[in-house]
Structure 1
Amino acid sequence: MEKFFKTPDQISALMQHWFLSYHHKERNFFSGSETFTFFYLISEDLQQKLLDRASLDEHEKPVFLLSCGNAGFILNTTHRFIKIGESDLESIFYTDFICHNGYKSISIRIDGSLKSVKTEGYLFEFGLRTHSREIVYWLIPSGQAGYAFWNVTKKCEFIGRKYH
């Protein structure tokens, strides 16, 4: 398949378009306090801490940040998903990403009651499928933020397949 050249700024703009289209909102609606938000809106201190850990390459730009509570963060860049935990770091390049496998289960038992992935305030295992057919599970928030992450970033496969 033929690949097309796009700059990191062009890829970032495309990803941001997907985000705004999903939310049906303008950019100025977001403050950076959202669970899934634009990277540039979070505090400069947190930006620097995450960038120090992530070790981005010279042509890679951070675009979104998903806060996963005690499980850390998922940083979406123009090249990959980066899971940044307290002491661990994992990444999946978009060139290796096929699709999301969705939440591992639509509900989990917490404190004796069943909680749905649509319920805000919980973390559920979410699968990302790679070209090797492996499914990597990361804990992501339930509710609106998790669904936004799912819907906005499912198109990252397109970036890996079409652009370099």
Structure 2
Amino acid sequence: MDKFFKTPDQISALMQHWFLSYHGKDRNFFTGSETFTFFDLIPEGLQQALLRQASLDELEKPVFLLDCGNAVFVLNTTRRFIRIGESDLESVFYADFDGHYGFNSIEIKGAEKGIKTDGYVAEFGLATQSRKIVYWSIPSGRPGFAFWNVTKKCTLIGRKYL
């Protein structure tokens, strides 16, 4: 498959379009306090702390942030998913991303309605081209499903764009 050049700003704009289309809202609706939100809307101090830990390359731009609780975040950039913990970091590049495997179980201990219940975290799988599934604990309910639906298209970035 032929790959096409897109700048980080063009990829960011595409990702933001997916986010806004999924939510059916204007960008002005978001404040940065949402569990899954635009990176540039979160407080400056948190932005700087996460960027120091993530060590982005010069052609990589942060786009979204998923707050997983307990000082754990998933940063979506124009090139990869980055899980940032207090003392660890793990990445899945879109070029290696084969799609979401989804929540590991529909049941969450303590939740009466399972993965569709807000306020909990559950194991969520990201499949790679090598058939490995990377599990990260992410929020259940609306934030988790928004993350799933918005970022599933990141496979296109890995397959189609340089």
TM-score (norm 1): 0.97
> Equivalents in 2 of 1:52, 1:109: separation in Å?
34
Deviations 1:75-98 (A, max 9, x none): 000000000001110000000000
Partner of 1:153: 151
List alignment gaps of at least 5 residues for structure 2. none
Aligned residue runs from structure 1 range 93-132, under 5 A: 93-110=93-110, 114-132=112-130
Partner of 1:28: 28
Partner of 1:69: 69
Equivalenced residues, count: 162
Deviations 1:4-59 (A, max 9, x none): 00000000000000000000000000000000000000000000000000000001
Query: Against the structure 1 CA distance between its residues 71 and 138, is the aligned structure 2 distance closer, same or farther, given a 3 Å change threshold?
Result: farther
Deviations 1:134-162 (A, max 9, x none): 00000000010000000000000000000
Post-superposition shift, 1:109? 2.1
List alignment gaps of at least 5 residues for structure 1. none
| 4+ residue segments displaced more than 3 Å | none
Q: State the secondary structure of the residue aligned to 1:90.
A: strand
TM-score (norm 2): 0.98
Q: State the secondary structure of the residue aligned to 1:47.
A: helix
Partner of 1:14: 14
Partner of 1:88: 88
Q: State the secondary structure of the residue aligned to 1:12.
A: helix
Partner of 1:144: 142
Letter in 2 for 1:135: I
> Equivalents in 2 of 1:8, 1:34: separation in Å?
24
> Equivalents in 2 of 1:135, 1:115: separation in Å?
25
Query: Against the structure 1 CA distance between its residues 105 and 71, is the aligned structure 2 distance closer, same or farther, given a 3 Å change threshold?
Result: farther
Deviations 1:101-158 (A, max 9, x none): 0000011223xx6551000100000000000100000000001000000000000000
Q: Superposition RMSD on alpha carbons, in Å?
A: 0.9
1:4 and 2:4 are equivalent in the alignment: yes
> Equivalents in 1 of 2:43, 2:82: separation in Å?
19
> Equivalents in 2 of 1:35, 1:101: separation in Å?
21
> Equivalents in 1 of 2:112, 2:30: separation in Å?
32
